[in-house]
Structure 1
Amino acid sequence: MKKTVFSLCFATTIALAMTDSFAQKGKPLYTFPIGVESYTYRASFPKSVVATLDTIKALGITDMEGGAPKGMTGAEFKKLCDERGIKISATGSGYEQIVKDPMDAVNKAKELGASFVMVAWIPHQKGNFSLDNAKKAVEDFNRVGKVLKENGLTFCYHNHGYEFHPYEDGTLYDYIVKNTNPAYVSFEMDILWAQHGGADPVALLKKYGNRYKLMHLKDLKKGVKGDLTGGTPPENDVTLGDGQVNIPEIIRLAKKAGVKHYYIEDESNKEYEQMPKSIAYLKSLKE
């Protein structure tokens, strides 16, 4: 892993130099701490947690969405992150787990020092997300979100694309947003999965504004036509700015809406190559 960290540091230097080549006049558009969704390094954490966190630190990342790796407590993982100046602002929970025991999710989040807990998948038959699925999710999210709020945390639902099945004059995603209590339920927009599911992330931000508290920054390969499965091959996850998602406009609207944390999530198998370039791209954006 030492060689990997060295390579990453070298790649970071190159990427930062690339930022100058992107330079434009004006104030920086992206003004938030660089964040990462820990799933980006899913192949590295099992090999060495310490080396992976060193890699993340070398990129200048100071914000993370994630949980303790297998075999490590939340407190142990938080300590390693704290030592490297990385704050765990959000963590995830499985739908079944948080519905069964929301206080367990509360305790795990607090152990990590997280303020947000997100759920990224609603159980359903693949390719057939239904109104009944959405109604059950609304009921569960309102109940769970209330428990989290009473314990000083914010619950967020993370879209995955399948929610954009047509329903009445909109989609089942619209149904979920409109029927969840804003006092208890907020949202994390995954911009790739919104685009892949046939939605327009820009239009969603304009429509639902401050319901969004978190965001996954990802880009979908140009020419890829999405669907409602909530899945796409890893090669379709490309460096920010190289794909079909309108990232500059999304960030402008997200800032206006009050999104609190932005996490780069790279689901490709080329994260060591793409992450430095994605960071350089964000830093290059100007108002």
Structure 2
Amino acid sequence: MQTRRTFLKTSGCLAAGALLAPNLAKAAKVKDIGIQLYTVRKEMLEDATGTLKKLAKIGYKQLESARSDKGNFYGLQPKEIKKIAGDLGMTVRSGHVHIDKDWQRSIDMAAEAGQTYLVCSSLPSEGQTVANYQRCADAFSKAAEACKKANLVFGYHNHEYEFDKVDGKVLYDILLDRTDPTLVKMEMDLGWVIVTGNDPLAYFKKYPGRFPLWHLKDMDKAKKESTEFGKGQINVKQMLQNMDKSGVKYFFVEQEEYPKTALESAKYDYDYLARLDY
């Protein structure tokens, strides 16, 4: 026979379960993990195909290349890296290059490699002034128009220096405010934003949909160096919980310093994310 006490105890548990259920339903696993190939730059230069095979075995699905001494694809041709990646179940989704005399060639190569995005990895001209950032924003607009003609999306990747202030104005904000949000997108390096004392979530709120790409990394704030996930001070889980607000389509793991080897860190980072509920 069920007494009032057991009824209340049972109903209380059910109520608690009902409250917890929505939270459990919201938990998700990280999927479609990408990597910036600069993470394994030495390995890519030594053996591009072999390194891609190792990354595929780890589980990475999305790739972002970076210009090197051997060109935009570590010595591989655009169609070549596209086929190798495709055969391994991966996609060359983006690439880091510079806005320079070879810009149109970089666009043509990115299109040939099947990329969706082409990212300018650093400012096309130097100078921590409002005038220079205005010039760079105008250069981005022009570069983005050229990308659009090739069915590519233009993006810019930040470091830390863009968050300097001049006359009370954050220089990075000039790049966002002076460019067309439908043409010029941003690849937010979350680590560098946070290290400078800025909040990615505030940028997601102020500039919705401007950040379709991320560099996801953990950082040792004291050393200002990247580290393996869970070993720094970046709240990776919190960032992932705000993907919708960012408008992010793809993120790429990037780690530039390692305790042992780049590939070991790449595996550690992948395994960390694969286990993570957010």
TM > 0.5 between the two? yes
2:230 counterpart residue number? 241
1:40 counterpart residue number? 39
8 A contact 1:191–1:217 mirrored in 2: yes
8 A contact 2:164–2:170 mirrored in 1: yes
Counterpart secondary structure, 1:91:
strand
8 A contact 1:142–1:185 mirrored in 2: yes
Note if 1:87 corresponds to 2:76: no
8 A contact 2:59–2:270 mirrored in 1: no
Alpha-carbon distance in 1 for matches of 2:221, 2:163: 20
8 A contact 1:159–1:193 mirrored in 2: yes
Q: Higher mean Cα deviation, 53-62 or 70-79?
A: 70-79
Partner letter of residue 148 of structure 2?
K
Alpha-carbon distance in 2 for matches of 1:173, 1:212: 13
Counterpart secondary structure, 1:75:
helix
Where does 1:132-143 land on structure 2 (aligned, <5 Å)?
Answer: 132-143=131-142
Residue 183 to residue 131, structure 1, CA distance change in 2 (3 Å): same
Partner letter of residue 36 of structure 2?
E
Where does 1:1-287 land on structure 2 (aligned, <5 Å)?
Answer: 27-66=26-65, 68-96=72-100, 100=101, 102-123=103-124, 125=126, 129-224=128-223, 232=224, 236-269=225-258, 270-287=261-278
What is the CA-CA distance between 1:54 and the residue it aligns to?
Answer: 1.4
What is the CA-CA distance between 1:273 and the residue it aligns to?
Answer: 2.6
Alpha-carbon distance in 2 for matches of 1:103, 1:43: 27
What is the CA-CA distance between 1:31 and the residue it aligns to?
Answer: 3.8
What is the CA-CA distance between 1:59 and the residue it aligns to?
Answer: 0.7
Normalized against structure 2, the TM-score is what?
A: 0.82
8 A contact 2:221–2:233 mirrored in 1: yes
Q: Which fold has the larger relative contact order, with Cα–Cα distance below 8 Å and residues 6 or more apart in sequence?
A: 1
Normalized against structure 1, the TM-score is what?
A: 0.79
Alpha-carbon distance in 1 for matches of 2:183, 2:44: 32
Unpaired segments ≥5 residues, structure 1: 1-23, 225-231
The structure having more radius of gyration, on CA atoms, is: 2
What is the CA-CA distance between 1:184 and the residue it aligns to?
Answer: 1.4
Residue 105 to residue 157, structure 1, CA distance change in 2 (3 Å): same
What is the CA-CA distance between 1:219 and the residue it aligns to?
Answer: 1.1
Partner letter of residue 268 of structure 1?
E
